[in-house]
A and B are shown apart, each in its own frame.
Chain A
Amino acid sequence: MLRYLRLLALGLRISVTVGMQYRWNFVIDGVVSILWTGLGLIPLTIAFHARPAIHGWTFATALVVVGWFSLLKGILDGAINPSLLTVVDQIRQGTLDFVLLKPADAQFLVSTARFEPWKALDGLAAIGIFVWAFRLLGRAPGALDVLGSLALLACATLVLYSIWILVIAAAFWVVRLDNLAYLFSSVFDFARWPVSVFRGVLAIVFTFVIPLGIMTTYPAEALLGTLSLRTALLSTVGALGFALISRAVWSRAIGRYTSASS
């Protein structure tokens, strides 16, 4: 365990070193993503313009969901995407060989290969949104609520990561999956809305297949102090379930690896 923490620290250090080499690229990336966060608020303001509330969500509380969305997007783009998109290339080019030759867990190694430290700016944008939302609400979040929402953030990250692992595992079968990755990013975009606004098939998909609720809505509700203990527990169980399934699928996928000829 300690060894893996050390490897994680080393991976981060190396990514920061690389980040320094291409700093302008990353600064521009960071600025662009903050711009996108801003633009992302436009549909929200339009949706809430005429109505005071949608399914119990007001503009201010929905803003909290957007905050979590922004934070999670930062985690996705900064800590999950870079590594896992690298794997897809490695599978196609056969350089995953080197990862599989290492005497350490392959899933861990591929998941910590690359970070984009500048994406931490998304986290700052998220905090800005939280501050704005709670000023609109005219109160501060409770200390326990903050703790609870952080715990749910861990669940959200785990779910997001597990889904990504499942998507990547598909690369072992189909080899190229730029489209699949793109599709996932598009679907993830729905997480900026509270999950209860979706109805019918979408509600089912976003609850069980791609649990957007666990990702952004429940952490937001926790921060607002409106989340039931039952939902919190179900979130945790759901997140662990996703992690276990993705681990099992990953292990099978490794066996399917055909490498690429020299």
Chain B
Amino acid sequence: MSSPLAVEVRALSKTYEVHERPPGLAAALRSVFRRKYKTIHAVSDLSFTVEPGERVGFLGPNGAGKTTTLKMLAGLLHPTAGEARIAGYVPRRREAAFLKSITLVMGQKQQLLWDLPPADTFTMNRAIYEVSDADFAETLGELTELLDLGAIMKKPTRQLSLGERMKCELAAALLHRPQLLFLDEPTIGLDVAMQLTVREFIRQYNERRGATVLLTSHYMDDVASLCPRVVVIDQGRLRYDGDLPSLVRSIQPDKRVALRFSGSADREAVARAGTIVDFDAAHAVIQIPRVDLREAVGHLLGLSFVADLTIEDPPLEEVMRELFSASKPAEADADAGTQADSA
């Protein structure tokens, strides 16, 4: 292949020394003179690659090392061991050409100048990234249209709502047309409508510009709808790399069947099809192993009080919870990494 990989990560590790002390004044006093340091393995021996134009979701519980990994890839943090390459560049060298080809959006931090309208931040970024007048006008026009920035661009940032600010953050981060987007919780705190807007925008940007997207999000819907591929890390280690449906199947081999009743339902009869997750007078949800699905659905449709039936995957949140709770005992044996498989 002529063009290099968008992201190439080999045996990447990052450890921190943090000083820890028990709560209380006495302990605080002791820690002034003698500090106990603890080594935190934020990321351990992480390897994966991403092709140009891919959209990859980064999943993991809080503290899994997602943000640390993104920051190493963006050149903000220096890896303790291993190496990362972004389109052939070594991120920690922070070469101008590299920095001009990437962007990092953090849902919890902002780069917009607080006291001034976002338009001023755009002007500043334009100068820093050396964007030509023509390109700036074109990109800004495009972003204004996609994100509906027209009116909000000229209001001081401090007067914008969280959603409006996020839209402007995205615009500020994309004015230089980066080819690689690191998005760290870009939809955090946004309402559902705004989440959809942001999500749709990311997809369109990816399709229009062929840009690579690496996304972390706590909203599983973001990942499910945006990312054909997911990388799961837990306690700094790679747990899974592949498509989402296969992950769901491997963790949670059951399907969910939602029923709507007309008339009084017979719980016994429903229970014969599978495990009842939820049951009330009008609805029920039952869990059925995939292999038994055909037979169970036949049985359920045969029940006179079943008015409607839908088959779904279990909610992603639940699947993830299961995946990560399974990793806790495994960690004691220090073999959490063995469950990783490259799909």
Please report A residues at the B interface, Cβ cutoff 8 Å.
Answer: 3, 6-7, 10-11, 14, 17-18, 21-22, 93-95, 97-98, 100-104, 109, 255, 257-259, 261-262
Contact = CB atoms under 8 A, between A and B. Distances in A.
Given A100-B94, A103-B96, A103-B129, A14 B76 contact: no
Interface in B98-126: 99-100, 102-104, 106-111, 113, 115-116, 120, 123-125
Contacts of B104: 97, 101
Contacts of B283: none
B337 interface: no
Contacts of A95: 109-111
A18 B128 contact: no
Nearest to B74: A101
Given A103-B99, A104-B128, A14 B109 contact: no
Given A93-B109, A258-B16, A18 B123 contact: no
Nearest 10 CB-CB pairs, A to B?
A103-B99, A98-B111, A103-B96, A262-B67, A262-B108, A103-B100, A18-B115, A102-B128, A104-B128, A95-B109
A248 to B, nearest CB: 17
B60 interface: no
A245 B335 CA distance: 47
23 contacts: A3-B127, A17-B120, A18-B113, A18-B116, A94-B109, A95-B109, A97-B71, A98-B109, A100-B75, A100-B94, A101-B75, A101-B76, A101-B103, A102-B99, A102-B128, A103-B96, A258-B77, A261-B67, A261-B68, A262-B67, A262-B106, A262-B109, A262-B185
Contact of A14 (B96, B100, B120, B130): B120
A6 B127 contact: yes
A91 to B, nearest CB: 12
A255 B106 CA distance: 21
Contacts of A259: 71, 76-77
Given A22-B115, A101-B104, A103-B96, 7 more contacts: A6-B127, A10-B127, A14-B113, A14-B116, A101-B76, A101-B99, A262-B108
**Most chain A beta carbons < 10 A, residue from B97, B103, B111:** B111
B69 to A, nearest CB: 12
Contact of B123 (A10, A21, A257): A10
A97 B106 contact: yes
A14 B156 CA distance: 13
Interface of B: 16, 67-68, 71, 74-78, 94, 96-97, 99-100, 102-104, 106-111, 113, 115-116, 120, 123-125, 127-130, 156, 184-185
Listed residue (A18, A93, A100, A101) with the most chain B CB atoms within 10 angstroms of its CB: A101
B263 to A, nearest CB: 51
B335 to A, nearest CB: 27
A94 B104 CA distance: 13
A190 B77 CA distance: 39
A98 B109 CA distance: 9
A118 to B, nearest CB: 15
Contacts of A22: 115
A21 B75 contact: no
Contacts of A102: 99, 125, 128-129
Nearest to B14: A258
Given A103-B96, A261-B67, A262-B108, A7 B76 contact: no
B109 A3 contact: no
B159 to A, nearest CB: 12
Contacts of B76: 97, 100-101, 257, 259
A98 B182 CA distance: 13
Contacts of B16: 258
A22 B16 CA distance: 41
Contact of A10 (B71, B107, B124, B184): B124
B110 A109 contact: no
B136 to A, nearest CB: 14
A98 B96 CA distance: 14
A101 B113 CA distance: 16
Contacts of A6: 127
A262 B76 CA distance: 13
B229 to A, nearest CB: 22
A100 B67 CA distance: 16
Contacts of A10: 123-124, 127
B128 A103 contact: yes
A3 B113 contact: no
Contacts of B128: 7, 102-104, 109
Contacts of A100: 75-76, 94
